[in-house]
Chain A
Amino acid sequence: MEKHSGFGLIRHGLSHHEHWPRMWRNPEPKPRYDVIIVGGGGHGLATAYYLAKEFGVRDVAVVERGWLGGGNTARNTTIVRSNYLWDEAAWLYEHSLKLWETLSQELNYNVMFSQRGVMNLGHTLQDMRDIERRVRANRLNGIDGEVLDVARIREIVPLLDCSCRTRYPILGASWQPRGGVARHDAVAWGYARAADALGVDLLQQTEVTGIRRSMGRVQGVETTRGFLAADTVGVVAAGHAGVIAKMAGLRLPIESHPLQALVSEPLKPVLDTVVMSNAVHGYISQSDKGDLVIGAGIDGYNGYGQRGSYPTIEHTLQAIVELFPSFSRVRMNRQWAGIVDTSPDACPILSATPVGGLFFNCGWGTGGFKATPGSGHVFAATLAAGKAHPLAAPFSLERFVSGRLIDEHGAAGVAH
């Protein structure tokens, strides 16, 4: 692996950038691996990286039916924050946020993590009570957070309509200065490149079509390129988690929905932070290229089609224009959808299953990009030890039977 550096950039510039090496190999599958990861999104790639890097498991394959990071990882609006209400969730997301803070150095790859702050607006008295409660809970957990009044919001985001003429006037906000955004593709590519350098086989264009089992244990996966044996299989397939569960004779408390986003034409810098609103339901930031990145809510029906309905977009843009009247003339460039795996308590599932050696990491729904490093890290620990990492333990499938749900519908109320 060629080490990236400022000097290297200049050197490659001198040869017109024609000699950059390939970032990863495109290997032939081996018949057997110690661990197979199903799904080459950010979470799957991060899992493989930490397995090889921290847990000494280097005989690993990542099996991806399309291209690396082509699922929700490349389709999300990249908001990163850790201000969740309940301890279990806050610890998991904060573990992740800490890893984000050094990720570019760790991977020697610029993931463009930009801690520009994340603001959650409150529009009703109940919103403000929830915000106060959540910010206090966060601070008790050592997570940065402030409650802002309207005067402070105006200072930070001058374009926001903070008047009382709006249909849902802004009353205040929560503010997490360490939150921000990152470059989604770079996260997948950075993990892929670093995992490949540690010996992980990245098998693209390889679809898992079956889970072979015997005597209640997993034997390996059937794929479009033949059978691959492994005693440990970790499924990290987001919207397709249920499809793969079915291959193993399992059901999940998950439903797959379209989640849409859109970007505008590029503008001069106008918004240097992330603004989200649960009540009117929209979230927006501005990318370094200048386009406004806008996220919608899920389409209410189940869908695997990677596209959603027009009324959902219309509803989102109404919210954005209500918040930022000056954006009403901005033209939108592109719109798309991912398939998100929503769970009943808006929290992920990191869990063993009734099939020995078969683990699932899914249910991140509308908000798992921020968790990419932490999810990969604790899932790798879980696969390496064959038992849940302490931060992952509360997120087992068992919670739906015991009733110990971790209700994050408040903190995850807006899809992000």
Chain B
Amino acid sequence: MFQLYCPVCREARAEEEFRPKGEARIIRPPVPEAASDEEWADYLYFRTNPKGLHTEQWVHAAGCRKIFLVVRDTVSHEVAGSWALGEAPVVVEGAAEGDSR
């Protein structure tokens, strides 16, 4: 079990209060009618799935219900930091910067 810092509530809370919502910053084809089948497939189904740092969305389900970004190591499960949606996560080798944690 780990703790996550909610950038909206500005508090670190138990993992159980949150729900993971998958890889972050997957961009929907900007002109849907113009996107090829391959582009749709990539948007809908194909994922980065890295072994290492992963930028992902979490929702504070039992708190403010807001979605935010987390950078987390998928091997150690260590959390490098949280950011509000729209912020650009800055992760330096092992440590994190920003509104932290």
Contact = CB atoms under 8 A, between A and B. Distances in A.
Query: Which size bracket describes the interface of A in this complex?
Result: 20 to 34
Contacts of B76: 305
Contacts, number: 69
Contacts of A307: 77
Contact of B46 (A240, A256, A302, A400): A400
B1 A309 contact: yes
A253 B16 CA distance: 27
A402 B23 CA distance: 23
Given A240-B51, A305-B77, A253 B15 contact: no
A300 B20 CA distance: 6
Given A256-B74, A303-B74, A305-B75, A311 B49 contact: no
Contacts of B51: 240, 242-243, 256, 304
Contacts of B38: 401
Interface string A207-222: 0000000000000000
B41 A304 contact: no
B1 A301 contact: no
Interface string B63-93: 0000000001011110000000000000000
Given A300-B20, A311-B1, A402-B37, A252 B56 contact: no
Interface residues of B, number: 28
A242 B44 CA distance: 17
Nearest to B49: A242
B47 A253 contact: yes
Contacts of B45: 253, 344, 400
Interface string B1-42: 110000000000001100110110000000000000110111
A308 B38 CA distance: 34
Nearest to B48: A251
A246 B68 CA distance: 27
Nearest to A299: B20
Contacts of B1: 309-311
Contacts of B44: 344, 400
What are the 10 A-B residue pairs with the smallest beta carbon separation, nearest first? Answer: A253-B45, A301-B20, A242-B49, A300-B20, A401-B41, A400-B45, A400-B41, A251-B46, A304-B51, A311-B16
25 contacts: A240-B51, A242-B49, A242-B51, A251-B47, A253-B47, A255-B22, A255-B47, A256-B49, A301-B72, A302-B20, A302-B23, A302-B49, A302-B56, A302-B74, A303-B77, A304-B75, A305-B74, A305-B76, A309-B1, A310-B1, A311-B15, A400-B44, A400-B45, A401-B37, A401-B41
